[in-house]
Amino acid sequence: MLELIIRRTLNVIPICLVVFTIVFCLMRIAPGDPATAMLGDYASAEAVQSLRQEMGLDRPLWSQYLDSLRGLLHGDLGRSLSSGAPVSDQIASALPETLALAASSLAIGLLLGVPLGIVTAVRRGRPVDHAGRLFSLSGLSIPSFVLGILLMLLFAIDVPIFPAIGGGRSGDLSDQLLHLALPSLTLGLIMMAYVTRVMRTSMLNVLQEDYIRTARSKGIGELRVVLRHALPNCLVPLVSLCAINVIVLISSSVMVEIIFSRPGLGRLLISAMRQRDYVSLQSVLVVYAGIVILVNMTADLLYGVVNPRIRSR
Amino acid sequence: MTPTLHEDLQLQVRDLEIAVVSGAERKPVVKGISFDIRRNETVCLVGESGCGKSVTALAVMGLLQTPPMRIVGGEILLRAGEEVFDLARLDPRGRAFRRLRGAAVSMIFQEPMTSLNPVHRNGAQIVEVIRRHTGLGRRAAWQRMLEMLRLVGIPSPEVRARQYPHELSGGMRQRVMIALALACRPGLLLADEPTTALDVTTQAQILTQIRELSRSSRTSTLFITHDLGVVAQIADRVHVMYLGEVVESGPVREIFHRPRHPYTRGLLASVPSIESEPFSRLTPIRGTVADLPENPAACPFEPRCESGFGLCRGRTPPLFEVSTSHRSKCWLEQEGRP
């Protein structure tokens, strides 16, 4: 088990290198450069040229690539081209915001979606099943930015319970949690829709299995049959779904962070893109790639936990 | 009114009718069958696939797929200790039935590969039923489970108990199922083709195991099979079922040596024997099992029967008494017939 974890962690390094290289190339191919973005369209050619020199953009591409790579390998992500601040500081302040958003949305999705999936499966064809399916279908159909704005209108403006924008005062946990409520509800409700569907389908399948009949033949109550005998067998598809959806979640978090003006990775990403801030951009994207890889790795390890047949291999 | 049961009997099924009910439509699956099982006796239900034998067992367990299947008539009287219950009138989901299920009556299923829960350890699956019905503590239940595994012939039970079902072979898993079914010393064991999915050598071992264990624990057994070889090995009495009805019943020797019903004779003729001539042909029963009879008034077996005559097309025969213990549902048995 430990060996597996170490091996998988070491795998992260080459993948991040590949991502870094791709991002590096893509950005140089894309039109526009940071000097023009900073100085505006009407700047003189000399001014642009001297700024480019200052930023080191006039050097050959391979030397720029090797320099940034060397920095990355030493843990030095360089300084932002637009603000001059160290990129690692920017990421260190933005990453927790994004992780908190992703984790709380995932928690909301699972805490609401798993029970709803179970109930709709057990009460198949009854009113609660129809209502639950309608609910999850609407969750699947609504884009995160629409739901985000709707929630903001409802719970920040019409009924002002939660703050509409911002990330909360740093150091004030309750204020930060209050600011987290609407963004995580936005992503969490969408997550819940997926979880409900997968949970319902796999529960319906599992309830048909022979071992469920065996469980019933022991004379145990239906609640125990569902929770102790059926539910653990539904977890494998649920883990796969979560792995895929956390990745979707991270990408929709960019949108949600923009809507709610949260100082997370998503905002950092968008502003770096606008400024053609190569240095910040490549680091942020490598961090995103790292998150995705870690999520997949966690899912692979969880498979072993939920399924004894995988564990023994 | 508390139901009564003759003191020799463990189970008595009377006029049991089971139907697939959808809306106002009722498609009968089991059409008023009656049979009984004495204490410490092994009774076989024999018949082709789809004749209603498994459904009958599931009804006794209260595990019918409801909806669409439902008991629409008759009674199932089961002895449980000093008491007698009519299972046909108990709510299968109710507390009273759950107290009996696994304790007074238990079941071994056909598919050992899928009948154990893949995410729970073998031992824990047996411990669960012991703790549910006996009130034993964790440790005592664990000991009882190990004893059961030893009893069904599982080597090094301490190791096997901590393994998962996928680490056992089919035969081993079926032994675990037998241990599970007998763990609470039920008065009645239902075995639904427990050896069909196993290879022949394992089959013989499992059969012996079931027979010996049910004898030594004084458990009556209802054994469901389509394999007449199995019947010959294990049964005291046999009920032959065709299309949801019992067509012939009697002691196992009578059924094998003096079969009366044309269907039973057909079944026996279609089994190869070690004494038959090499390369001689087996005699199959002609036709196939009809889903819905064309002529509901006729004997259900009439379209496939070799010895049918006029009366068979006009009326369904009653169960005729051939001897005190042997009955056949065939007009051939009527007085004055050869």
Q: Which residues of A touch B164 (CB under 8 A)?
A: 308-309, 312
CA distance B45 to B64: 18
- What pLDDT was estimated at residue B306? 79
Size of interface A-B (CB pairs under 8 A): 73
Higher pLDDT, B191 or A274: B191
**Inter-chain residue contact B129 with A214, CB threshold 8 Å:** no
A211 contacts B117? CB cut-off 8 A: yes
Both A110 and A250 in a single domain?
Answer: yes
Cα(B178)–Cα(B191) distance, integer angstroms:
9
Write a three-state SS string for B211-262. HHHHHHCCCEEEEEECCHHHHHHHCCEEEEEECCEEEEEEEHHHHHHCCCCH
User: Count of domains in chain A?
Assistant: 2
Whether residue B108 is predicted with pLDDT greater than 60 in this model: the reply is yes
pLDDT in tens, A152-192: 888 888 888 887 777 777 777 788 888 888 899 999 998 99
Q: How far is CA A26 from CA A20, A124, A281, B46, in A?
A: 10, 50, 11, 73
Find where tokens 């238990």 sit: B106
Residue A312: the pLDDT is 54
Mean pLDDT calculated for residue range B174-180: 91
- Domain holding A28, by residue range, is 16-73
Query: Greater confidence, A45 or A136?
Result: A136
Q: Taking all residues of chain B, what is their mean pLDDT, rounded to a whole number?
A: 86
Instruction: With a cut of 90, say whether residue A6 has pLDDT above it.
Output: no
Query: Which residues of chain A make contact with B101, given a CB cutoff of 8 A?
Result: 216-219
Bridge-partner residues for B190, per DSSP? B107, B222
Chain A interface test: which of B117, B134, B145, B193 (most A C-beta within 10 Å): B117
Both A171 and A118 in a single domain? yes
Give yes or no for residue B335 having a pLDDT over 90. no
- Residue A139 is part of a domain; what is its CATH number? 1.10.3720.10
Together in a domain, A164 and A119: yes
Pairwise CB contact (< 8 Å): B101 & A216: yes
Q: Give A107's pLDDT tier (boundaries 50, 70, 90).
A: very high
Distance from CA of A230 to the nearest CA of B (A): 9
Q: What's the confidence (pLDDT) of residue B337?
A: 59
Residue in B86, B125, B81 with CA at minimum distance from that of residue B103: B81
Domain boundary among A264, A283, A298: A264
Residue A33 placed within a domain: yes
> Considering A264, A279, A297, which residue would you say is the last residue of a domain?
A264
**CA distances (Å), origin A157, targets A96, A145, A165:** 27, 17, 11
CA dist B150 and B214 (Å) reads 15
**Contact (Cβ atoms closer than 8 angstroms) between residue B254 and residue B207:** no
CA-based radius of gyration for chain A? 24
Residue A273 pLDDT > 70: yes
Q: Which residues contact A92 (CB under 8 A, 6 or more apart)?
A: none
Segment B77-99 mean pLDDT: 87
Cis amide bond preceding B262, omega within 30: no
The beta strands (E) that lie in chain B are given as: 9-22, 25-38, 42-46, 69-80, 83-86, 105-108, 188-192, 220-225, 237-242, 245-251, 320-321, 327-328
At residue B20, does pLDDT exceed 80? Answer: yes
Q: Which chain A residue's Cα is nearest to B166?
A: A309
CA angle A243, A245, A251 (to 5 degrees): 115
Q: Which amino acid would we find at residue B22?
A: S
Residue A131 shares a structural domain with residue A192: yes
Query: Does A83 fall in a domain?
Result: no
Report d(CA B111, CA B192) in Å as an integer: 9
Distance, CA of B99 to CA of B111 (rounded, Å): 25
Q: Does residue A4 lie within any of the structural domains?
A: no
Chain A closest-CA separation from residue B280 CA (Å): 40
Q: Taking a C-beta distance cutoff of 8 angstroms, is the pair A281, A126 a contact?
A: no
Nearest to B188 by CA among A209, A217, A220: A217
User: Is A3 a residue whose pLDDT tops 80?
Assistant: no
The residue written with tokens 């179970």 in the block is A118
pLDDT value at A103 more than 70: yes
Please answer yes or no on whether B63 and A213 come within 8 Å at the CB atom: yes
Do A96 and A241 fall into the same domain? yes
Give me the phi and psi of B128, to 5 degrees please. -60, -45
In a domain, A10, yes or no: no
Residue A7 has pLDDT above 80, yes or no: no
For residues A194-215, average pLDDT: 92
Q: Do B119 and A214 touch (CB under 8 A)?
A: no
Question: In this structure, are A35 and A135 located in the same domain?
Answer: no
Of the candidates B100, B116, B166, the beta carbon closest to that of A219 is on B100
- For the segment B9-23, the average pLDDT, to the nearest whole number, is 88
Beta-carbon separation of B63 and A216 below 8 A: yes
Instruction: Please answer whether residues B129 and B183 qualify as being in contact, where contact means their C-beta atoms are separated by less than 8 angstroms.
Output: yes
Same domain, A69 and A96: no
User: What is the distance between the alpha carbons of residues B188 and B194, in angstroms, rounded to a whole number?
Assistant: 15
Is residue A252 included in any domain, yes or no?
yes
What confidence tier does B258 reach under pLDDT thresholds 50, 70, 90? Answer: confident
A260 and A167 part of one domain: yes
Q: Considering only residues 190 to 229 of chain A, which have any Cβ-Cβ distance to chain B shorter than 8 Å?
A: 209-211, 213-222, 229
Q: Which two tokens stand for residue A165?
A: 């924008």
- Domain co-membership, A63 together with A94: no
The least confident of B59-63, B93-97, B195-199 is B195-199
In this predicted structure, the answer to whether residue B47 has a pLDDT above a threshold of 90 is no
Q: Tell me, what amino acid is at B170?
A: G
Q: For chain B, give the percent of residues with pLDDT over 90.
A: 25
Which of A47, A73, A99 is the endpoint of a domain?
A73
pLDDT at B162: 92
Residues A177 and A66 in one domain: no
Mean pLDDT, to the nearest integer, of A231-241?
Answer: 88
Could you tell me if A251 and A245 are in contact, meaning their C-beta atoms sit under 8 angstroms apart?
Answer: no
Is A140 part of a structural domain of the chain? yes
Domain residues of chain B, as ranges? Answer: 114-185
Does residue A61 sit in the same domain as residue A96?
no
- More reliable by pLDDT, B233 or B280: B233
Residues A104, A196, single domain; the answer is: yes
Distances (CA, A) of B36 to A218, B21, B47, B59, B279: 24, 26, 17, 15, 40
- Which residues does chain A have within 8 Å of residue B166's beta carbon, measured at their own beta carbons? 308-309, 312
